[in-house]
Structure 1
Amino acid sequence: MSVINGVTVHTDCIYFRGDVPCTPNKESGYVCADCPVYTPVQTRILIIKLGAIGDVIRTTPLLRKIRVTYPQAKITWLTHTPAILPASEIEEILKFDLASVVYLQNTSFDILFNLDKDKEACALHDSIRAANKFGYTLHNGVAYPSNSLANHKYLTGIFDQLSLENKKSYVEEIFEICGWQFNHEEYIFNNHQDKGFTWPFNQSKPVVGLNTGCGDRWTTRLWSDEKWVELIGLLQQKNYTVVLLGGESEDARNKRLQAATQAVYLGYFKLEQFINLMYQMDVIVTQVTMAMHIAIALQKKMVLLNNIFNPYEFELYGRGQIIQPDKTCECFYRGTCKLGTSCMEDLPAIKVAQAVKDTLDPVVTPAGEKQ
């Protein structure tokens, strides 16, 4: 507590801003001397998770664990993509820039979680004051485990042989880095259903969203137009509403697929609207890309097409299936196929269509277990 000109000021309150009135003052006229909602911060926590968007999204389950473990924590999160984070669950979301770095290097924290191996993130781990630090530091100018809790995730990231043997999901690994056990905590995410978006397609029958792209980095994940056309036909035969999903880079492909099949394609949208469109789906078919992370965060049923990644990496929370080509992939974590043609072409459309049906209508055994 401080007293300025006879006025009590609680700079340690979780609501206190310092530069503008806090929300309790603005909305209810409360002042520090007799504020009924005064909540002193007991633990100051910094999360460094810069990007990419999908990795930021799948780090949000940590927020649930933090709130249980440290109920009066003030959480600060540094990232390249502030808009993707749930603002209602994080007291301070900072964009990675010079202003944020200067501020953080002159602030003290009780706990710092650096979950990125980028050199700039590791440098911040070393230069920001915190009583307890987890994740990755710099050693000889490269990323290195800050303590033994990060050893497993670190080693699977630098040796393909260990990565292939890994049986832990990404979310399980980041919980481990922070010193916790993962208990299937869900993502925290905004579905933007309150924004008033409307969607002109038939939702009276099952709606299947097909996310047809995968980004530019790992093009070995791509499925050909011919495969998508075949899958769309099979799904339409089952009387499903098929909606094509994607961003600007998928626009040309989705227009071709729409022309060939009459599947629904509404164009590409800004992120909030795209997220809400995905929220309308009953099941989403996607490759390993940002849309996969969004689908998991929205708690959607999903059919995940995978070839080059370790399938154990993905936590689908029991709501999806991972479907892989009939041919064994020989290009683990490679952006281009060393054989000249992607094994994704050995993934039959009928296999994916069956997975969609099984995901929408799982078979229940006499014991009540889904198959």
Structure 2
Amino acid sequence: MGQQKLLIVKLGSLGDIIHTIPAQQRLAQHFPQAQIHWLTEPPYHTLLDHIPGISRVWLADTKKWRRHISSLPDSIQLIRALRQQHFEAALDFQGLVKSALLAKLSGAKRVIGFVAHQSREAASSYFYSETVVGDDGSRPHVVEINLQLARSLGCSTNGANPLIPLEIPSEAFDYVDDQLSKNNIVKPILVNPGAGWVTKLWPLRNYAQLLLRIHQELGHGIVLTYGPGEKDLVQEIQTVTAPHPIAAFPTTFLQLAALCRRSHLLIAGDTGPLHLAVALGTPTVAILGPTSPWRNGPFNEKDPIIKRYLFCSNSYKRTCHQFICMDIPVQEVFDAVTRRLES
């Protein structure tokens, strides 16, 4: 493919982007001379800027476009700039109408996405020149599904690997080391209680009980991690666990990555920090609710997945009036943590 250019369209979220990076790496290996560009939303460029093999990261602030009609010139300017790149192909890993439309408007010769019934929004397929079957019914992980899209350009799908070559700057490690030192913690266990969907949330009282048991019975230092809008969750847990000190401090994506590298283990639901930890090789324990373990759980078979299997399992519902899928006993999670630490 020489010096030709490819465009990856994956706007968000953190976990979805992390699950797409292995496909980007496979494209970079298969086309070492090609330029690979990535179209995403803020703030994910801060992560993608540190991934080898990405020539340029483009920002599409679609939320701003929807809120402010005055930002329309920004979107037009972006589309014009993308079209000037003369992309050989645009691969839409998002599967939404907005991502498919952006891929089409990029002017790429080929616009490739998943078949309609496997896209998040079936109408997205109207904008593709080619479609690919991502899930062949063999229960593939989302990392493997994304590799199928790369396969459309001739890449091999063998030997799927979730690990990503994130280049974490020294400043991120310096910040994390300073925070750990202030809290007298070495090699902590990380706990991320937040999630993007309310149905993915394990009860905060359960997290509090789990942290106390880890602190008292296993003797490990603990750090609570959180993202934008989740600080109240952390403070509520800290209130319940008082007077036992449970550390928590804000992190950027790169600082969170550095923290994962400094830690024994991360415990979380199906959320970005869990997938980041897996991608960096940090052991994890996953507490899953409405999402399927084979598709969205940790790719590493050594990482325990704690889940209730019910009539509504793997429904991918973002709201629910029962929340029975997250009615998981603390003992079950604690036992999984113990097993993973021993392994």
Q: Same fold (TM over 0.5)?
A: yes
Of 67-76 and 79-88, the range deviating more from structure 2: 79-88
1:352 to 333, 338, 341: 333
How far the C-alpha of 1:169 sits from its partner, in A, is 0.6
Change (3 A) 1:349 1:328: farther
1:104 aligns with 2:82: yes
Instruction: Tell me: CA distance 1:351–1:169, structure 2 relative to 1, closer, same or farther (3 Å).
Output: same
Listed as ranges, the gaps of 5+ residues in structure 1 are 1-39, 157-164, 363-371
- Paired residue for 2:67? none
- Residue 124 of structure 1 pairs with residue 107 of structure 2: no
Instruction: Kindly provide the CA deviation profile for residues 225-256 of structure 1, in whole angstroms up to 9, marking residues without a partner as x.
Output: 22112211221211121221112433223223
Structure having the larger proportion of residues in helix: 2
Shift of 1:268: 2.6
Task: Give the corresponding residue for 2:315.
Answer: 332
3-state SS of 1:108 partner: coil
Residues 234 and 248 in structure 2, CA contact (< 8 A), matched pair in contact too: no
In 2, are the aligned partners of 1:123 and 1:137 still within 8 Å (CA)? no
Q: How does 1:88-99 map to 2 (within 5 A)?
A: 88-96=52-60, 97-99=75-77
Asked whether the 8 Å contact 1:214–1:287 carries over to 2, the reply is yes
Pairs within 5 Å for 1:193-272: 193-195=170-172, 196-197=174-175, 198=178, 199-200=180-181, 201-204=183-186, 207-215=188-196, 218-236=197-215, 237-261=217-241, 262-272=244-254
TM-score by length of 1: 0.74
Provide the secondary structure at the position in 2 that maps to 1:121: helix
Matches within 5 A, 1:35-184: 41-80=2-41, 81-87=44-50, 88-96=52-60, 97-135=75-113, 142-144=123-125, 146=128, 150-153=132-135, 167-179=139-151, 180-184=156-160
- Give the Cα–Cα distance (whole angstroms) in 2 for the partners of residues 292 and 269 of structure 1: 15
Counterpart amino acid of residue 253 in structure 2: L
Which structure has more relative contact order (CA 8 Å, sep 6+)? It is: 2
CA apart distance, 1:182? 4.4
Structure 2 portions without partners, runs of 5+: 61-74
Q: How many residues are aligned here?
A: 308
Quick one: percent identity of the two aligned structures?
21
Assess, with a 3 A threshold, how the Cα gap between structure 1 residues 283 and 73 changes in structure 2: closer, same or farther.
Answer: same
Structure 1 residues 47 and 263, CA gap change in structure 2 (3 angstroms) = same
In the alignment, the residues of structure 1 paired with residue 18 and residue 290 of structure 2 have an alpha-carbon distance, to the nearest angstrom, of 21
Aligned Cα RMSD in Å? 2.9
Q: CA deviation at 1:317?
A: 2.9
Structure 1: distance between partners of 2:125 and 2:147: 18
Please give the alpha-carbon distance, in whole angstroms, between the structure 2 residues aligned to 1:255 and 1:172: 37
Task: Please tell me whether Structure 1 or Structure 2 has the larger radius of gyration of its CA atoms.
Answer: 1
Q: Which residue of 2 aligns with 1:187?
A: 164
Mapped to 2, the partners of 1:101 and 1:250 lie a distance apart of: 34
